[in-house]
Structure 1
Amino acid sequence: MVGLASSVSASADEGARGLAYAAPWPGSAPGLGVNKLAGGLPSAHAEIDTEHIFGFSMGSDIGKPGEIEVEFENVGAFGKRSGTYAAWANLNQVKYTVSDNFRIAPGFALSGQRINGVPGLADHSDVSFGGAALELRYKLVDRAVAPFGLTLHAQPGWSRIDDATGLHIQQYGAEFAALFDRELVKDRLFAAFNVWYGTGGTREIATNLWRHDSEMQLQTAISYAVQPELVFGLGVRYARAYDGGALDRFLGDAVFAGPTFSYSISKEVGISGTWQMQVAGKAIGDNRSLNLEQFERHQALLRLNLHF
């Protein structure tokens, strides 16, 4: 889970944790009878799904009981100090909302890399099956009846490919998160704050050596509904990488920032994403600007959601 970017999971990408689609706007279907605000937007606060409107950051909503959602999440990481570097991590999930407060989502991952002339990394070009994960979410505070929402996230996973390098591995890990969000201006402006922690143990097949890594991220984002089905925003993430599974030895940090979007194509289909650039960072023992040892220059997300 620690590796590729820093924003999705022991799921698809070892380092990219964390990820955005706006659910169909309440009242968009005829006959619902939802009251409208002066701006023409519906006022059914509880019906607006915030989970995927913040890019890499996540909202607290988990869907309604009995809802089934299929999600295809793609995270890309691009750019090192020199050479050509591109890595792709894909997580495919089926999400089932068991109750008002609990959701389960099994999934499998694909992984791909194109690496050429990057110091410290072997040249590599391949796409392969990456591993599997199980996401569990529990809504602790419902934003529909409280000033803010809070959902707890846990995702154990297994990986056979290092998303950052393409090396064959056996990795067992998990990520944990607290997902806060709040509606700042009714039906218009939303904010999120996430705390993410990922840890994993990895055995390199070629050497049979084990290593342990961990990472912590603080993420925040703000999103504005330009139209009922179209949301734009800005996300910022601060990531810290560690040697050791319990945040033992600090290796370096990075700050990423960039625009986000979410668009409801129809009631059943939505897309969302973000492109973020490393704007600050430092690796231990390296006086150069930015941290391109543990992280990349650019990280991007594109997600497709299908509701049933």
Structure 2
Amino acid sequence: MRILPRAKAFRAAAVSLAALLPAGARAEGIDTEHLFGFMIGADVGNVGEREFQSETTGRFGKNGGRYRALGQEFELEFTPVQNFRVEIGSTFASHMFSSVPGLDDQRRFYWQGASLDLRYRFLDRETGPFGLTFATELHAKRVDEMTAEAVRGFGTEFRLAFDRELVPDRVIAAFNLIYEPEWTRLVGSGVMERESIAGVALGLMAQLRPGFLLGGEARYLRKYEGAALEELAGQALFVGPTAYFQLSNRSRLTASWSVQAWGRPAGTKASLDPVNFERHQARLVFGVSF
């Protein structure tokens, strides 16, 4: 019940912003490529399309103390051929936390690493029963995103994305299957750590007016020790609202916020898992085509 006022505030802010949208915001169809905050849709853009994107992600709250982690990624996206999209990105991050059990106090800003995202659409929902896209992201990092320790890390993210319009040009649903293995070597000690995350995500968005969609996302994630899902470390369920704004024919904005509604570290009977996951996650994505 504690999250209800925040959800109402988010909805009120989204509706107020929608009223400011230009009347000429595009009304044809629903493009799911950038519709969601923490999920992906099956659309990959039109051939020849180029975009610049700024993605800001905030993660807040752990198991005590004060924990704030911000990531800022700048990305360039290209669709060189039909049904295939390429994205390259560079990420900066900052950590501000103190008195968090198991973590050293940190207050720093740094360049974190680079990424390459490739997506191929196998099915177009306009001609098939649903949209289907396979996505893989490769990334290298210099600093651990949770602990802020100096590392040499490499990870991949595999997603299978499905989407389907439940009501044509009005309501759309999306589903993601997620697998994220990661290998991290700690600088100094040389210790190699391997971990992975597996999960599912479900999103639903409704177009309330041309260029403005409002809905929500739910994600169930399981974190494992070992890159091959070997030993369960913890699990969590995140839920929260998402809003999409088509600002103009060339620009867009997506805002999403998720709260850990349920979670459990392995071997406990707790109702939340603030050890392996954050209590709150937020994301703001701005994009412009050129």
Matched residue, 1:109: 91
Q: Which residues of 2 match residues 125-164 of structure 1 at below 5 A?
A: 125-164=107-146
| Equivalent position amino acid for 2:275 in 1 | E
Matched residue, 2:221: 239
Q: Which residues of 2 match residues 113-262 of structure 1 at below 5 A?
A: 113-262=95-244
Compare the two structures and name the one with the higher strand fraction.
2
Contact kept? 2:236, 2:263, Cα under 8 Å: yes
1:289 pairs with 2:271: yes
| Residue segments in structure 2 that go unaligned for 5+ positions in a row | 1-20
Matched residue, 2:67: 85
CA distance in 1, matches of 2:280, 2:75: 25
CA distance in 2, matches of 1:161, 1:112: 10
Runs (4+) of structure 1 moved beyond 4 Å?
A: none
Q: How many residues align?
A: 269
1:209-242 deviation line (CA, Å, top 9, x unaligned) = 1110100120001000011111100110000000
Secondary structure (helix, strand or coil) at the match of 2:81 reads coil
1:50-81 deviation line (CA, Å, top 9, x unaligned) = 12223211111111000001111111110112
Q: Which residues of 2 match residues 51-70 of structure 1 at below 5 A?
A: 51-70=33-52
CA distance in 1, matches of 2:137, 2:264: 28
Contact kept? 1:54, 1:222, Cα under 8 Å: no
CA distance in 1, matches of 2:93, 2:147: 10
Shift of 1:90: 2.0
1:28-68 deviation line (CA, Å, top 9, x unaligned) = 58xxxxxxxxxxx95x54xx311222321111111100000
CA distance in 2, matches of 1:144, 1:211: 43
Within the candidate set 85, 89, 99, 2:81 is matched to 99
Contact kept? 1:217, 1:240, Cα under 8 Å: yes
| Residue segments in structure 1 that go unaligned for 5+ positions in a row | 1-24, 30-40
Give the percent of matched residue pairs that are identical in Structure 1 and Structure 2: 36
CA distance in 2, matches of 1:201, 1:192: 29
CA distance in 1, matches of 2:49, 2:282: 28
1:253-279 deviation line (CA, Å, top 9, x unaligned) = 000000000001111111102111001
CA distance in 2, matches of 1:64, 1:226: 25
CA distance in 2, matches of 1:67, 1:53: 17
Secondary structure (helix, strand or coil) at the match of 2:42 reads coil
Secondary structure (helix, strand or coil) at the match of 1:98 reads strand
CA distance in 1, matches of 2:212, 2:174: 17
Shift of 1:156: 1.1
Contact kept? 1:54, 1:192, Cα under 8 Å: no
1:72 pairs with 2:54: yes
CA distance in 2, matches of 1:202, 1:231: 38
Matched residue, 1:15: none
User: How high is the TM-score relative to the length of structure 1?
Assistant: 0.84
Contact kept? 1:140, 1:150, Cα under 8 Å: yes
CA distance in 2, matches of 1:141, 1:283: 38
Shift of 1:295: 0.2
1:274-300 deviation line (CA, Å, top 9, x unaligned) = 111001110013333200110011011
Secondary structure (helix, strand or coil) at the match of 2:86 reads strand
Compare the two structures and name the one with the higher helix fraction.
2
Q: What do you get for the CA RMSD once the two structures are aligned?
A: 1.6
CA distance in 2, matches of 1:230, 1:127: 34
